[in-house]
Amino acid sequence: MSSEPTRDVSAALDGAFAEVGAQIARTDSKASILLAFCGAVLAGVLAGGKALLVFWPAAVAGGLGAALLAVGAGVLLSVVRPRLKPVARGSLLHWASLTPQELRESMAADHRHEAVAVLARLAVTKHQRLQRAVDLIRAAGALLALAAVLAIGGAL
């Protein structure tokens, strides 16, 4: 006789489905905030870009920083871009492809395990891209700070 408690698989699936959905929502929120940040910094670089052009090392560092920031923003856009594939049974995209009768039949079976697996892979991909974007933004910030220092030093 096992001393292990039996696990309520249905409750575990409900919890996993909710956790995966929450993780996806978190990455989308973080990406949106970082996109706004990138836009504001790029606008500032464009507005103050003339100061960087005075001293060519500052212009090079500033240009590279702005380019890295733009690449980071592109990666962030890939985080918030809707994914329409793969379609897991028991997911919104699957339900959208069904007729009302097929939906009724599909609801008779529990497909949460398939949906959780697909959504978990999606959440991991979003987290990896968010991490890559943050690394790019950090590198861009370092280059932009260097450009500012060089511009100030070149103006003296």
- Confidence (pLDDT) at 18: 93
- What is the rounded end-to-end Cα distance, in angstroms, of the chain? 82
Q: Tens digits of per-residue pLDDT, 55-75?
A: 888 889 999 999 999 999 999
- Confidence (pLDDT) at 93: 83
Measured CA to CA, the distance from residue 137 to residue 122 in angstroms comes to 22
Q: What is the mean pLDDT of the chain?
A: 89
Looking at residues 127-132, what average pLDDT do you find? 97
Q: In sequence order, what are the residues at sequence separation of 6 or more whose Cβ sits closer than 8 angstroms to the Cβ of residue 138? A: none
Least confident of 2-6, 80-84, 108-112: 2-6
Query: Contact 130/32 with Cβ under 8 angstroms?
Result: no
Domain boundaries, the chain: 11-155
- Confidence (pLDDT) at 125: 95
Residue 83: closest CA among 109, 111, 113, 120:
120
